[in-house]
Amino acid sequence: MRKMTYGEGIREGMRSKMLEDPNVVLLGEDVGPYGGTFGVTKGLWEQFGEERVRDTPISEGIIVGASVGAAATGLRPVAELMFIDFLTFGMDGLVNQAAKMRYMFGGKISVPLVLRLPAGGGISAGAQHSGSLEAWVTHVPGLKVVYPSNAQDAWGMMLTAIEDDNPVVYIESKVLYSKKYQVDDTVAAIPFGVASVKREGSDVSIITYGKQVEDALSAAKALAEEGIEAEVIDLRSLYPLDKEAIFASVAKTHRALVVTEEVKRGGFGGELSAMISELCFDELDAPVVRIGALNTPVPYSPALEAYVLPNTDDIIQGIKSMF
């Protein structure tokens, strides 16, 4: 075991695939000598050179679109957009091209690209640099979407993402980048569609991913002192989705709370909640509770931002409301 930050986990995943496969290339704004806005690609330019770690113009359309063209012709590009919010300029390449090409072309073209998207609030970055937009991409057939919550998963899921023959949206939590985690000495690829039970419990299932995993664990710890045992499920992969893990947990606890950082309206949390209500109705002793951000852009001022985003206490209150 060793200690490693979340950002380092992402980097080590990329590094090991780059060592294995010369067709793995990185591109994005400031990913070269600068090492990435959040330092994730630090050292890779020095190790692999200019041809494999390419700084691009500030031009998200071509970052995504060129990745599509390169992926369709033999490369395995890993593209970074500086913030998930900048996906708007790269959206066509992702949703109209990468996601649909295999299908539109009758299964004859693969687009094995990875799009890294730093997401989430909590650093006073304001409304255009703090988005949680996973619902935009989980909504699109043809994309796989993953959202690791710790360094080990970040590493193992990056290996899987780069090996995958489909476009993978790899969402990263900005506030976790510098957090340290215990990581195995060798990390194997973590298959998509397999959730991780972070804490077992008998009374309520907390279903979440990304940064909210640690909030959920804090909430579970506090609730245990009051005699409520919460099970915490880290989905890790939003599509494919480990429905069995969700259903098994709900069948055990008979209560479910879904917590995500996104604006609650139209969020992926709504999809999870609806799915549990539809398919596990007979198992439920209480309506599914959904926790998310308020339906606002993310504000700048720290107190406002903290007020808008969901926190541990919201989870605790949400769970108490079910009993």
Partner 1 sequence: MRISKELLSGMYRKMQSIRKFEKTASTFFAEGKIPGFVHLYIGEEAIAVGACANLRDDDYITSTHRGHGHIVAKGGNLKYMMAELFGKETGYCKGKGGSMHIADAELGILGANGIVGAGHLIATGAAWSAQYRGSDQVSVCFFGDASTNQSTFHEAMNLASLWKLPVIFVCENNLYGISVSQARHQTIKDIAKRAEGYCMPSLTADGNDVVTVYEHVQEAVQRARNGEGPTLLEFKTYRQHGHFEGDPGAYRPKEEVEAWLQKDPIPRFEKYIMENKLMTADELKQIEDEVDGNIQEALDFAFASNYPALESSVQDIYSDIVEEARSR
- Specify the residue, 68 or 250, whose C-beta has the smaller distance to partner 1: 68
60 assigned to active site? yes
- Helix residue ranges per DSSP H, the chain: 6-20, 44-48, 60-71, 87-91, 99-104, 134-138, 151-163, 212-224, 243-253, 268-279, 302-308, 312-320
The one catalytic residue among 8, 29, 129, 214: 129
Strand segments (E) across 95-214: 114-119, 144-146, 168-173, 180-183, 196-199, 204-208
Taking the complex as a whole, how short is the minimal distance between the CB of residue 70 and partner 1, in angstroms? 4
**Nearest distance in Å: CB 137, partner 1:** 14
- Is 139 an active-site residue? no
Q: How far is CA 187 from CA 52, 88, 157, in A?
A: 23, 33, 10
Considering the complex, state which of residue 25 and residue 230 has its C-beta at the smaller distance from partner 1. Answer: 25
CB-CB contact of 314 with 131 (8 Å): no
| Nearest distance from C-beta of residue 278 to partner 1, angstroms | 13
Q: Which is nearer to partner 1, 49 or 302 (CB)?
A: 49
Helices (H), 72-150: 87-91, 99-104, 134-138
Active site residue: 60, 172, 261, 271, which one?
Answer: 60
Least separation, in Å, of the C-beta of 277 and partner 1?
Answer: 18
Residue number, 74 or 227, with CB nearest to partner 1: 74
Binding interface with partner 1 (CB under 8 A) = 23, 25, 51, 56-57, 59, 61-62, 64-75, 89, 92-93, 96-97, 101-110, 141-142, 144, 164-166, 240
How far is Cα 299 from Cα 220, in angstroms, rounded to an integer?
Answer: 28
Q: How many Å apart are CA 72 and CA 53, to the nearest integer?
A: 19
Q: Per the omega criterion (within 30 degrees of 0), is the bond before 112 cis?
A: no
- With contact defined as beta carbons under 8 Å apart, do 38 and 174 qualify? yes
Closest distance to partner 1 from the beta carbon of 292 (Å): 26
Question: In the chain, what's the furthest Cα-to-Cα distance?
Answer: 58
Q: Which residues pair with 258 in a beta bridge?
A: 207, 290
In the beta sheet, which residues pair with residue 199?
232
Shortest spacing between CB 189 and partner 1, in angstroms: 14
Q: Hey, which residues are catalytic here?
A: 60, 129
